[in-house]
Each structure stands twice: as structure tokens, then as C-alpha cells.
Structure 1
Amino acid sequence: MAGGLKAGFVRLMDYLQDPQHVARFQRLCGVRETEPRDKLRNGAPSARHGDVQNGGGDATRRRPESGRGNGAAGENGQVLDKDGVEAQESAVKPLRRNSLTGDLGQEFIIDNKFLFYLFTLGTELGNELFYISFFPFFMWNVDAYVSRRLVVVWVLVMYLGQCTKDVIRWPRPASPPVVKVEMFYNSEYSMPSTHAMSGTAIPLSLFLLTYRRWEYPMLLGLSLAISWCVLVCSSRIYMGMHSILDIIAGFLFSLLILLVFSPALEIIDTFNRTHPYAPLIIISLHVGLGLFSFTLDTWSTSRGDTAQILGSGAGIALASHINYHLGLLPDPPASVLPLQPPSFTLSLIGLCLLRFLLGVIILLATRAVMKALTIPLVCWLFGIPSNDVRKARQHMEVELPYRYIVYGTVGLNALFLVPFLFAYVGLL
């Protein structure tokens, strides 16, 4: 009986991990691979290789006009390439190169442009650009109380997810049959999907932390959280980065982490803000977690991303301690809860956009300056050549201090320096 259940469970896991399911989903959503050149000469249709833009970026290129460029018009007006093969529209390559090998990947065809842009948006909800925009905007314009706890959840979920990846070490879905619409994270391990984890934890935590603290319809908040989660999770299958099993495991793992740590968020936040030894413990804990986890057999973006997340979390936790003692961004008293959303006027929207634009400029400038100072300094300290920054950053001695210092400073400035400047010039 037990042996049969175990065998059935193994078969289910193998079924959910089958890359053919990913390929079917991609074809259903309008993603097709191009045929190799040797098949083209045998009459198989494919994309026009000569017109694909190396470096990606334009997934909606127009169909070439008859008689122009390197192609020629066929009998029915179709465009032929220089080998006499019919060209197809929308042949592109992934938007970003593989972070380890620099490989740009193979060409593919986009038949449904709307889904391509939709799932590109979904996958960006788990990337650095989103984090460096969303968390600060929420801090400066909505609710610093919620944002502090949300960052704690994000750090926990992403740290545990990245560590689990490096322990299990399952590869990405095989290509073929999967089309790699994204290549940047292709060198990382696959199980579980940290995009699915963050795409579950962030919207669900946002709903749990704001419901009853702010007045809004429960159905609206829950619907937005579910839609956010579904979009991020399905986008990773569309991009060819994860199997169905990776997504399910990431979703369930994220729920487990929330179940265990949500009751402790109040304790963690209060400690970070009020305990006299909080700064020392915050720095020691975040650095220690990073050193404990980095046991990669080969370099990938995983180690740097984990250090970046830990550094950002440490910087924001330190900023919350400073803010508490300076009385900056104080939490509203319990007597005024639940909070009422303000009326959306042009002046309010303009003020929020002004805070966001000025704040992001400060954060981007902070990151650029700290990066320019930190990498050469760390390379000099450890005797590592800095002429090739990309290779230098793959050394653990460079990557960890660089990520911690740069993003720790960015996190500190996001919750302390930027609000302090806003208060000084009257923007808060």
C-alpha cells in the first residue's frame, strides 16, 4: 500500500515536471520555435534569420515588405530570404543574455503580442526593477508600517527560496521542447520558483497587512492579490523558466513560510525599531545568513541576488531603527484605524509622482556611486583584477561585500534619507 502510494507520488512529480507541458502552454499562448536552417532548405517553414535583431528588444517587428531588404517576393507575394525560404513575422531572441555564459538564446516566433507583453509584465513583477520601484513608492506614498513588514516577508521568502534551489539543484526545463523566451536566469537552478514565491507572498501579505487597517472592499483586495499571483506564476511557464512542479512547489512553500512567520512580524518589526542592540544584530544576522547559504558549485546570479536581498533588508531594518528614534515616518495611533484612502485629486497624484521620481533618482544615484566605489575597493583589498568587472564580480570575495554594501545603502536611503529629505523640503 505504502509502496504504491510512493510510486504514484513519484509518477505525479515526474508528470508535473515534464517540459512538454511547458512547451504546450507556450504554443497555446502563441510562442513557437523556429526551424533549423538545414530543415528550411528541405521545405520546412521557418523564421527569417537575417532580420532578427541580435540583442532582442523588439518582439513586435513588422512583416517585411515584398521586394525590400535582403528578401525577394515569391509567387504568392510572400517574402523569401536569400536562400529562397519563406520568412515569418515576429522572429526575435530573448530580451536579455544569460547572466553566466552571455548566450542570447535561440530565435522564436511570437504569434500573440498581447500575451507576450502581459507575461513580460508578470515576470518583471519578480525582478529588481519592480522591487526598487514598488517598495519605495509604498514607503513614501502609502504606508511605511505595511512596507516594513512587507520587506521582512520578501527577505524571508526569497532567502529561503534561493537556499532551497541551491540544495535541490534541479535544472531548468529542457530546450527543446521548451522555448527559452527569457535567458538571464537560465543558469540558476529551478526548484522552487522564487518568482512564484514572491508573486504569492507579496500580494497575499499586502492584502493581509492592509485589510482592516485600510478601508476597502475585501473582495477587491483579494481579487487583486489572486490576479497578481496567477500572472507571475503563469509568466514563468510562458518564459520557459519553470516546470509546473516548480511553480506549485514555490506557491506552497511561500504559503508555508507565511503561515510560520506572519505571527512573528510584529515582534520582528518592534525589535528592529526599539531594541538598543538592534543595529548590531541586524547587520550580523543578515551577513551571517548570507555566508551560511552560499555553497554554490558554480557561479550564477543566485548568490548575488540573495546577498542583494539580504543587504536591502538590512538597510531597511536599520532605517526603521533610525526613524523610530528621530520620529520620522511615525505610525498612526490605533485610535485612527482603519485608515481612509484619500481622495484622488490632481494635486495628490502630482505630489506622489514627484516624491517617487525624486526618490528613485536619489536611489539610482546611490546605487551608481556606491557600485563605482565599492567594486574597485573590494578588488584591491582581495588582490583581484578589476579590469573585467563582470568576471571580478563572480568572485565571492567581491560579490558579497559589493552587494551588501551597495544595496544595504540603497535600503537605508529608501526608508531614511529620502523621507528625511522630503520632510526637510516639505514634501511629506
Structure 2
Amino acid sequence: MSTTDDQFLADFATMSGFGATPGGGVDRQAGTAADHATRAWFSQWLARHGYTESVDEAGNQFGTMELVPGAPYVLAGSHLDSQPLAGRYDGAYGVLAAAHAGARVAAEARDGKLEPTCNLAVVNWFNEEGSRFAPSMMGSAVFTGKLPLGDALATADSAGTTVAQALAAGQGAQDGNAPVLAQVARYAEIHIEQGKELEESGTQVGIVDRTWAASKYRVTVDGAQSHTGATRMEDRRDALFGAALVIAAARELAAEFEPGLLHTSVSELHVLPNSPVTIARQVVMNLDLRSPDESVLGLAMERLGKRIIDAEADSRTEIRLDLTHNWGVVSYQPKGVSLGRASAESLDYSHRNVMTVAGHDSTNMKDVVPTVMLFVPSVEGISHNEAEYTLDDDALRGVELLTDVLRRLVRGELEED
């Protein structure tokens, strides 16, 4: 193992200590003390390795290196925030991999080993996870113009703290010198797969070529508050019972399709009044449906709609679905996929094209600049869990792959059609 490999693993271990949990994961939701501590450590890391740090108004943390004065940036990164009781690799691996890869490429440029046409930047996108502040992928959404900055800053968590307040409480106030979208020519991101395809196929790296389609809803179930003991069963309008019927229907719906064609889930329940002796008057929850086939997604929603009508009748409640997010099967630029494949082949890594089921900041960036998205294997596909793990050899292989991708991007190998 090389010195640079050793240093990456040591840095990753240090970074994983921020917000560390007893189960071996991390808990550093966006804008919390643990997140700010990680950002502060990363700020120091950037300074030690020749980057100039800046933070934009949305909380996105950048490190830039000037190689060609006035040239646009090749940007690479991911996110440092996590879900509650989450794994230490999701997002954070991609930020540190980008920072190490960028430093290596910059050193090559300064030593005359490559002729750059672009400058380099790495980024820690704010609030990718969306667990504390909704929506997810917030920082990159603001950066790409998909979400107004004012809306993002005004978003509050369950305790009433806004994004603006959370950012103000931590390290790195915005300074006006951060890169903007118009200065970015290319984007690259590496991430753990969060699935089993690479591991099960024995493939070393994945080149992401498309996203799964997704539809996300805020489900509101309205019933009537009453006594859990005294109210007759036939008189009850139990919102929690109605919600349970929807949850069961969503799970059973997935079994109506071939395995791998539909993923469904319900999460984040808010129950009112949430009292031990009171039947719930309202439940609000999130419903998430995803598929690699848009027609399957449409059919699934049609079938679920019929089940919801039955759930209303059985529970004597009113159930409303409000669409919060949706996207179709969207391709990454073919030239970016080809460039990622060329890098894998030059390093003699086994590779395959894969779809991403999860959302990533690259899914925002690919809509506005040519983008390369890469995966490394996840052990048993475990993610958003303290047991999340990627083997050191796979993690190091990913850094090497991203380094070669950035090298090619900085040289200008990926040109627009």
C-alpha cells in the first residue's frame, strides 16, 4: 500500500470520528454541531493541502485550486452530512476522495506532468440527506437554480430552527468568493453503491449511466381524536389505522411486480396528538415509490390509488396525497459515461454500467453540466445504517479511478456535443 493510500485511510478514519456512534457509524445531520465540527476539520484539511476554502450562501463548502487563471472549474465532491445513526461512508467518502484526487491532479499539473485547461474545485454540498431539513440535495439544488435560496434558508426543522440559523451557528460564514454555476465546466462524483449489484457480480467499479424514476408524496390521513378505551370500535375514525392500511398497501404493492421493478416505502410519521390514551386525529408521512421503468411507476400509483380508496372506507378517514418530488429515468451524458469507462479500462478495473436508485447531488448537476458519476461496492448493499461498509481496497480503487477521471477532465478530454 502506498503512502498516499495510507494517508487517505488515515484521513477517512479521522473524519469518521466526528459524530461517531457506538455502532460504528456516524450521526451528523445537516447544520448540527457534529456536522459543523466535520466541516471545520475539512476546512483545515483543505488549507493544509493547498486549497482555498469558500462557503456560499446555501452552506456549500468549496476548496479551489487555480491551475489556469480565469479558466472554469472541474468540480468534484459529495456531502458530509448524514442520516441519523447512519454509516460513515455515504457522502463523506466521496468528499474526501475528491479532495485527495484533486490534490494529486493539481500536483501533476504543477510538476508539468499534464497540461490543464481548467481549474480544480472540490465541494461538500450542504444538506444532501434531507433528514433534518427537507428537501434532500438542498445545497446542489440551490447551486443549480432548482431551489430558490430564500426558500432553502427559510426551511425549518421539527424544532423550528431554520437553515439560516443552523448555518449561522457553525463554521464558515459565506464569503462571496465561492464558485458559481457559470464557472463550472464539468462535475464528477464518486459514491458507495448502496446496493448489491457490484458486489454480487464481482465488479470493481460502476459507471452510472441512468437514474431510476421516482415519485415521492406527503400523505395526510385525517380522522377524529377520541378515547382509546371508551370509544366504540364502530365509531372510531382512527388516523393511525388508516395510515397502517396505506403502509401495508404500499409494501404489498411491490410484490405485484417482478423483483427489482418497484421499490416502495413509507417513512417519517408524524402522529397527532401522539398520546397513549387518544386515538390519532391525524398522521402525516412520506411515501416513496421508485422504479427503473416509468410505466411501472405509473401503474403502481394507479393500483395504489384504488387501495387508498378502500383504506379510507375501512378506517373512516380521509387520505390525501401531495406530490413533493418526482423524476423520470434520466440518463447521464453518454460522453461522461464513456470517459468513466475509459478511466476504468486504463486502470484495468473491471466495470459495468449501473443505474442509481438513490438520489445524489450529481443528479442535480448532470442537468446543467457534463457529469461523471462513479460507484464503488457496498458490502451486502447496506446503507443508511451504522453497519454500512466498503472494503479499504475498494475505497482506494475508487480514489484512483476518480483521480484519473479528474486528470482527463482537467485536460479537457470531455467536450460538449
In the superposition, the TM-score normalised over structure 1's length comes to 0.21
Q: Greater relative contact order (Cα 8 A, min sep 6): structure 1 or 2? A: 2
Which protein has the bigger strand share?
2
Q: Please say which structure displays the higher CA radius of gyration.
A: 1
More helix by share: 1
What's the TM-score once normalised by structure 2's chain length? 0.21
